[in-house]
């Protein structure tokens, strides 16, 4: 198993932490077989983001948007949490005050057993009426002849689209979590989408120790006290180990 620079001091900081907040992005789900957005093969490399993940795109062609999200959800449902997701669920069971703020909508953190999960960009377990807020569970493809709601609104994926604000309660909880955390860990995010990235770059507490897990340098890397260059499934299990592993 290849050594990862910085693993021992990062692990020591984590062992001493009473409060931890983790921010994840699509990279943590790569080893579950899900694509990222901006990397090679990423969704935004092959799809028209403004037509699929924006209120304007939905207003223009709701059937296209539902078809795309149904395809993504079917892929999510076939995927399984990987060792990275499971390591974070294990960490949560050990730390007194733990918050997981994710940009992902694939529900893999919940399926891995994580409890205190803030799904900042929404999820694909429900549809929501864009006028009255009525919700209905998403099981199988959304019936395209039922998009129109009796109230005059339309059922849409419960996702935060470009140009939309994050759910206020979730955002407040995330800000409070990073402000009080002894350690904040960013995993698998390029750090280019706001306001989520600001949790790691501007809103983190001045005494907080910051760790990034990513095989590549990201926009967050300059803000990290330690960057662990490696994948989520290979690094996170070693990071959350409680006894000294082979890496020392
Ligand atoms: N383990 C950890 N990180 C990985 C792995 C891996 N196996 N593979 C790739 N990565 C990293 C990449 O190096 C990159 O930094 O994951 C990151 C993915 O970045 P993006 O594709 O930009 O995805 P993300 O940061 O989650 O995007 C944020 O943008 O489109 C919106 O709402 C969407 O939530 C998404 C947000």
Q: Tell me the pLDDT band of 248, cut-offs 50, 70 and 90.
A: very low
Q: Is the pLDDT of residue 245 over 70?
A: no
Give the number of the atom of ligand 1 that is nearest the alpha carbon of residue 42.
Answer: 21
Give the model's pLDDT for residue 242.
Answer: 85
The answer, as to whether pTM is greater than 0.85, is: yes
Give the number of the atom of ligand 1 that is nearest the alpha carbon of residue 103.
Answer: 34
The residue contributing the CA closest to ligand 1 atom 26 is 25
Residue 168's contacts (CB-CB under 8 Å, 6 or more residues apart) are none
Please give the average per-residue pLDDT across 223-233, as a whole number.
Answer: 98
Q: Which residues line ligand 1 (CB under 6 A)?
A: 25-28, 30-31, 36-39, 42, 103, 121, 188-190, 192-193, 214-216, 218, 231-232
Among 4, 22, 34, 37, residue to substitute to test ligand 1 (most atoms within 8 Å of Cβ) = 37
The CA-CA-CA angle for residues 170, 235, 175, to 5°, reads 20
Q: Separation of 156 CA from ligand 1 center, angstroms? A: 24
The residue contributing the CA closest to ligand 1 atom 15 is 190
**Which two tokens mark 186?**
């960013």
Report pLDDT digits (tens) over 109-163.
Answer: 999 999 999 999 999 999 999 999 999 999 999 999 999 999 999 999 999 999 9
> What domains can you pick out in the chain, each with its CATH number?
1-34+81-121+166-248 (3.40.50.1220), 35-78+124-159 (3.30.1600.10)
Report pLDDT digits (tens) over 15-45.
Answer: 999 999 999 999 999 999 999 999 888 998 8
Report pLDDT digits (tens) over 177-207.
Answer: 999 999 999 999 999 999 999 999 998 888 9
Please give the average per-residue pLDDT across 62-77, as a whole number.
Answer: 96
**What single-letter DSSP state applies at residue 152?**
S
Give the model's pLDDT for residue 218.
Answer: 98
Give the number of the atom of ligand 1 that is nearest the alpha carbon of residue 191.
Answer: 25
Q: Tell me the pLDDT band of 4, cut-offs 50, 70 and 90.
A: confident
User: Which residues are known to be catalytic?
Assistant: 121
Q: Is the pLDDT of residue 247 over 60?
A: no
Among 190, 211, 236, residue to substitute to test ligand 1 (most atoms within 8 Å of Cβ) = 190
Assign 218 to helix, strand or coil: coil
Give the number of the atom of ligand 1 that is nearest the alpha carbon of residue 37.
Answer: 21
**What single-letter DSSP state applies at residue 18?**
S
The residue contributing the CA closest to ligand 1 atom 7 is 231
Q: Is 165 exposed, middle or buried (0-12, 13-18, 19+ CB in 10 A)?
A: exposed
Q: Separation of 221 CA from ligand 1 center, angstroms? A: 13
The answer to whether the beta carbons of residues 21 and 181 sit under 8 Å apart is: yes
Please give the average per-residue pLDDT across 210-232, as a whole number.
Answer: 98
Higher pLDDT among residues 117 and 49, named by residue: 117
CA distances in angstroms from 24 to 18, 43, 66, 114, 118, listed in the order given: 20, 17, 25, 13, 10
């Amino acid at each position: 198993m290849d050594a990862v620079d910085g693993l021992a001091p990062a692990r020591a900081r984590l062992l001493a932490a009473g409060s931890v907040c983790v921010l994840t992005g699509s990279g943590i789900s790569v080893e579950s077989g899900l694509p990222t957005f901006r990397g090679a093969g990423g969704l935004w490399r092959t799809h028209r983001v403004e037509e699929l993940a924006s209120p304007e795109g939905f207003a223009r062609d709701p059937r296209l948007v539902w078809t795309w999200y149904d395809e993504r959800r079917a892929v999510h449902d076939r995927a399984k949490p990987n060792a990275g997701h499971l390591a974070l669920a294990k960490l949560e069971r050990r730390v007194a005050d733990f918050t997981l703020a994710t940009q992902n909508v694939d529900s893999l953190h919940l399926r891995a057993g994580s409890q205190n999960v803030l799904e900042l960009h929404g999820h694909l377990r429900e549809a929501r009426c864009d006028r009255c807020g009525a919700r209905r569970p998403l099981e199988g493809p959304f019936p395209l002849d039922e998009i129109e709601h009796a109230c005059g609104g339309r059922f849409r994926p419960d996702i935060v689209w470009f140009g939309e604000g994050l759910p206020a309660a979730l955002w407040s909880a995330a800000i409070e979590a990073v402000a009080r955390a002894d350690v904040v860990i960013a995993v698998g995010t390029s750090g280019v989408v706001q306001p989520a990235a600001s949790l790691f770059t501007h809103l983190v507490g001045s005494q907080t120790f910051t760790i990034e897990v990513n095989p590549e340098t990201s926009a967050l890397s300059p803000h990290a006290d330690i960057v662990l260059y490696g994948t989520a499934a290979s690094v996170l299990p070693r990071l959350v180990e409680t006894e000294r592993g082979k890496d020392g």
